[in-house]
Amino acid sequence: MPVLGFGTYALEEVPKSKAWEATKVAIDVGFRHIDSAYVYQNEEEVGKALREKMADGTVKREDIFYTTKIWSTFLRPELVRPALERSLKKLGLDYVDLFIMHFPLPMKSGDEILPKDASGEVIFDTVDLRDTWEALEKCKDAGLTKSIGVSSFNHKQLEMILSKPGLKYKPVCNQVECHPYLNQSKLLEFCKSKDIVLVAYSALGSHRHPNWVEKDSPYVLEDPTLKAIAKKHNRSPGQVALRYQVQRGVVVLAKSFSEKRIKDNFQIFDFELTPEDMKAIDGLNRNFRYAKLLFAVDHPYYPFSEEY
């Protein structure tokens, strides 16, 4: 898994064609790890970009590391493989490199992304995630995905999978929100001890989607410490935030649909942060989470009530 990945999520108002354009730019710039998901509803566009870049000889299929995620409405074991097959069909690919559970929060199955009752509350489902995991293992055995993992799991939820009787494959990764204001040091230590890769999303802070993020949230990239370190290295705060993750052994996703920023985000391999820089950035941690998933706070599997 390349240590730097290109994230393709965008707010609903962004035209889906932007994902197609941006993915092509990302591949041209040098990104080989592409991260998407069923719920982003852009896999047709991302797949088209990948296929065009293969057709013009820029990359071969084996050069690309592509991740998709199974959404919370498909976590019943019998729905897992059909969900992956649907993504593959949209992508026009025979397999994905990584297939992960998007959230540990089963919701009522069906085609609605956020199924709600008459009073506007999200309708959850009761599913044993260990059974879901078995269905992911079967997808790997069937050759539909090379690897399987999870996202937004806390350490107890990871333990639940790891200690499952008859476990065939352990999760290769746990993709979580991770940036200088939420550096996940305890979860990172736990994952390293279990040989699970921590993958960082919202590594540059986050968008301000009203469903997911409070609008008065702080801007990581405006942080004075980050800006000072960036200035010292003649880099942008975003490049420093990405480099920080790579140096601590975290695989990091960078999301942008701007050609200039996509290029900038890839330029993180020709400079190094000093131990003092790393320590200063570690010191910015305030356990601040952008995506709190407050609509699911009463769900028995709500992942963020644990310290890590």
Q: Which residues are catalytic?
A: 40
Task: Return the biggest CA–CA distance within the chain.
Answer: 55
Which two structure tokens, joined as six digits, stand for 273?
């942060």
CB–CB of 75/39 below 8 Å? no
- DSSP label at residue 271: -
Residues 6+ apart with CB under 8 A from 68: 36, 37, 38, 43, 84, 87, 91, 96, 98, 99, 100
Residues 6+ apart with CB under 8 A from 38: 68, 69, 70, 71, 74, 83, 86, 87, 102
- Helix 77-91 to helix 129-141 angle (10° resolution) is 50
Q: Is 249 left (phi over 0), alpha (psi -120 to 50) or beta?
A: left
Q: How far apart are CA 71 and CA 74, in angstroms?
A: 6
DSSP letter for each residue of 34-80: EE--GGGT-HHHHHHHHHHHHHTTS--GGG-EEEEEE-GGG-SHHHH
